[in-house]
Structure 1
């Protein structure tokens, strides 16, 4: 019996999903979040609006999955570099972070996602579970390794160390209040590691 020329539904669905996520990312970069619409995404992806609403409950949910899709195909290893030198490893990671936030192609969907998270508690919970928590745990694991090696004070609050490293980047990015460059990243690493250096009295 001759093979059917009709594509399998699962393959059609996957093609549509990829097209929608790609269209979402492209449109955010091109027109910005304010002008992004489900209609525009559907037109760019070549699908009907009902297809998008069948898989995602809101524009914010599509934006979130489009951001997650950027990392699809990676090896899944979230571990930070561990050369044995905590300061050097943190400079590498924070330099990469500020470079991403300074890149319009990368930061456009992130800024859009933050807008949606503010107003959508369900999306905020999904973001915390699927993206923020795994990444934060990987960062804490590297800090813990540095602490075990004696490069951070034994009684340092690692959750606080992490917040002090990243919150200034987020603040500067959200408010567009200053440059996001390597000098800023290195300054953060140096200041935080000095504050939590072994032998310092932490109050």
Structure 2
């Protein structure tokens, strides 16, 4: 007698199909037009399957972004601080481009109106990546590439702030030269001798 179907395998394949359908639909039509019904139809599952695992489309997109993010909990450390900061910033840019169909931009916008989703976004996606960023800067401090008293919160705002500023005001993401210039200016400011 052959064993029955493996429920865990079926569940995992359904989960992957739902995440893939979510990404495809966001990229095709934008987050605003994303519905649970459309996700279920594209993934070939019932809406009840989706609601069993996620309370909303935002929760699905959050899991999608968390799984597809390229930088994990260990920061890049090539020995070249500017290159490593560029990799960290590029991950954010990749999540929010193109802005009109980016799952990340839609999720950020919805999280402003949904405190629970905002909290989950902060805990699952933002705070771990802030810690990764700070970990890389602490490594640079230990290696003497940054002063021991460099303010890591200010560094975070100086590097990531322009990206979100450009996003919010529809200015387009920085090109390669602009991104390199931004990093160079911030590193220069962080390593400048203190006025005494």
Query: What's the TM-score bracket when you normalise by the shorter of the two chains?
Result: 0.7 to 0.9
Q: How does 1:113-152 map to 2 (within 5 A)?
A: 113-152=107-146
Q: How far apart in 2 are the matches of 1:66 and 1:195? A: 36
Q: 1:7: how far off?
A: 1.2
Alpha-carbon shift at residue 159 of structure 1 (Å): 1.4
Distance 1:178-1:85 versus aligned 2 partners, 3 A rule: same
What do the CA deviations read for 1:104-153 (whole angstroms, capped 9, x no partner)? 39x71111111221111111111222221221111111111222333223
Query: Which residue is equivalent to 1:40?
Result: 38
Distance in 2, Cα, partners of 1:14 & 1:22: 12
Q: Relative to structure 1, is the Cα distance of residues 54 and 102 closer, same or farther in structure 2, using a 3 angstrom cutoff?
A: closer
Question: Which stretches in structure 1 are left out of the alignment for 5+ residues?
Answer: none
Q: Match for 2:106 among 105, 112, 127?
A: 112
Separation in 1 of the partners of 2:108 and 2:177?
A: 26
TM-score by length of 2: 0.87
Would you say 1:173 and 2:172 are equivalent positions? no
Bigger Cα displacement from structure 2, 18-27 vs 81-90: 81-90
Q: Is contact 1:38–1:49 with CA below 8 Å preserved after alignment?
A: yes
Q: Any stretches of 5+ residues in structure 2 without a counterpart?
A: none
CA distance in 1, matches of 2:92, 2:68: 18
Q: 1:89 to 1:52 in 2, by over 3 A?
A: closer
* Partner deviation per Cα, 1:45-82 (whole Å, 9 max, x = no partner): 111111111211111111111222325xx8x8533332
Please state how far the C-alpha of 1:24 moved relative to its aligned partner: 0.5
- Could you tell me the TM-score, scaled by structure 1's length? 0.84
**Retained in 2: the 8 A contact 1:79–1:139?**
no
Q: Once the 2 structures are TM-superposed, how far is the Cα of residue 175 of structure 1 from its aligned partner?
A: 2.5
2: CA distance between counterparts of 1:80 and 1:135? 9
